[in-house]
Structure 1
């Protein structure tokens, strides 16, 4: 591996391009590129067969040998660029990312490309999630539970928002993810004979009284508006987490985790 370039100026054209990709969803869609910061996150992306366009490293934190070890299994080697401390500090969100930032090519997450490995699948569906932190937490939960897929209905933004990648701790790369409209996802679930369990406040039964042992999709909505009527009408059974305090709902990622791990508990018997 040879370092092809050295960039010392934060005003360099490539550096300005990377900043735009970090900040603007429009640029990520237009260029089909996104930014990954950190050794762990990048390692997970490589493991998931994401294609690297270029990789930048600051030798004051990461050595060239460590970088070589990180990317040694990649068939099509990316362009490697050494950067100055000033450049790295301009691009890095946090100090503990081990001195590496990379540009990767986005993947399409169309439902027709999604293949479920298990017939008795357990899937998480999130309708119109808005907050990157919540999406990241949902992906971390899905990874922890080794779910068969995470489906995003009517997304409000793009999955390659740097805040999603950070908050998911790279779990955006470890999950099988499908994106579509509510109607498209409902068709997908029906075609795969998957029951639909919607987290809702009305016409619901306690989640502990619900049978998740067959192929199941657990569906969660936003904390502000909940699920749309389309989901509630298509639901096999609406489910609820009984609340014993003064409020009637929890953070969506917390609720999803409770429901998912109840399903896992039932399936482990």
Structure 2
């Protein structure tokens, strides 16, 4: 099972170039698509999900031409968009039963078994008769995964699934996604580095509609390891440091600005070498396209 994206481009009528000649190869397992808000991630996800057409390029899922045979793709697709509506007064079990009917599962007994199984899987069975409008943010996201799993899809797309979740709900969601990713292609679109670091064996970084990096997280970390240095400075001195060094990220800690730079050689001047992590990989690439102060 493999999803192949080749030379995909999309420009909106207002002139915004959302996708700029994007090519990606996405194997079975968890694949992280990492980028800041407005990077083009959601446009790419909607295009893969057959909800909009690109201006040019191609997408194939195994032997299926995604852009031409949309119905075949939809039969194999599970999709959890960033924002999805729920009927607040309808219970989880009734809604899932309805979705299963829409997916072509006509046998009532078969649907009942499926709905119960999915609600158990996402730990919502005890809340199955409650109206969806009473669900917390984490419960809504888990229900979203349940509806995406109807029909045993071979391709699952989840767009910004952990945004707004508290740490305990995020951990539950991580465990659920990890289990799902064992036998399917799962694309996790997010701006949260921790999501990719925790879940994904393969990843890509996208910004301003372009792929800046693709590979395994460990490979990305190895590419910058030994090149990352940090120093605490006064906030007022930031401009001076940005002129002298390749600043990739800044963070305000206890009134001081913690500065991280990328350098092939030890810069001296009080900088301390630190082990690289995936956040450094992300900021190293993104800072070449976007002002690191605004990331």
TM-score, structure 2 as length reference: 0.24
Higher strand share: 2
TM-score, structure 1 as length reference: 0.26
